[in-house]
Amino acid sequence: MAGETITSRDNKWLKSFRAALHGSGPREDDPIGIEGRKLVEDSVASGLEVRALLVSESAERDLICVLEVAGRSEEGIPRSRIFRTTDKLFAGVSGTETPQGVAALIRQPLWGLEDTFHGRAGRDRAFHVTTFPLIVVLTAIQDPGNVGTIIRSAEAFGATGAIATRGTADPWSPKALRASAGSALRLPVLRGLAVPVVLAQLRISGAKIIAAGAHESAKLIDWTLLRESLSGPAAIFVGSEGAGLPAEVEHTADARIAIPMNEPVESLNAGVAASILLYEAAKLRSGGA
């Protein structure tokens, strides 16, 4: 069932797992590190390629379940890339306080801008939204938990893709992946693009630019203009709680969206705010109030 049993902390595969599960996100050719049976199973079921699977001695039952899922996928998992190790050695590479005993190195999905416009085919949709693209663009959001939350909400509320601009925490970092509950591996995601490049590419593609503003601007929103902007290809730009959006986004936005709030609350964190805005955008796109 499994290949090599790893008994040394200096093993090259353990070093690879340790780097992937503790880093801030993979470089261009590096694998994505994921941990936990549910996340591994979801990745395999989504058709992602597993470069290596690591299982601790106390997680043998989980291995059986993962292999059952892999058996129903096209990619599967090569038996030569399934490794066992001790609970102690697994804990040494794990990126969590309570290791679950299952981790995988996944080949990065190859997404392009067109993928963020089209999304993934075959998804069930709770909202009967238009078929037009909706992309969420994250700018300077440095908390990986917020990044993962936004991408999870984007998938939940019918967005077709996400773009994490330069200066934003990597959506494929271990903390962001856990916060996204796997959405960052299913939803088409682009990473590390400069804001001016994103704006230019979206303009060329015909997408409307929607700026998520501070709650003080909620009363100034032109709802007719916002509905019109969301009736076709659109991108919602979300900034950090402190810094807000870059000036070039504010200056070029076609419409704005904001959350009215009671005093004395000044702001919501980016993950909560973006989730509310994406839900409201889904309602507007589906013709709801």
Q: Does domain 113-285 have CATH number 3.40.50.2000?
A: no
Q: Is residue 121 scored above 80 in pLDDT?
A: no
Output the CA–CA distances (angstroms, integers) from residue 164 to 6, 34, 174, 259, in the order listed: 36, 19, 15, 22
* Residue-range domain boundaries for the chain: 5-106, 113-285
Pick from 133, 151, 137: which is nearest to 245 by CA?
137
The answer on pLDDT for 89 being more than 90 is: yes
Q: Is the pLDDT of residue 148 over 90?
A: yes
Q: How many whole angstroms separate alpha carbon 230 and alpha carbon 133?
A: 9
Over the chain, what is the mean pLDDT? 90
What percent of the chain clears pLDDT 90, i.e. is strictly above it?
A: 69
Question: What pLDDT, on the 0 to 100 scale, is given for residue 46?
Answer: 87
Q: Looking at residue 30, what DSSP letter applies?
A: P
pTM, entire model? 0.91
Say if residue 216's pLDDT is above 60.
Answer: yes
Alpha carbons within 13 A on the beta-carbon side of 273: 27
Strands of the sheet containing 255-257, edge to edge, are 189-193, 161-165, 134-139, 234-239, 208-212, 255-257
Can you tell me whether residue 272 is helix, strand or coil?
Answer: helix
- CATH class of the domain at 5-106: alpha beta
Q: What is the pLDDT of residue 285?
A: 84
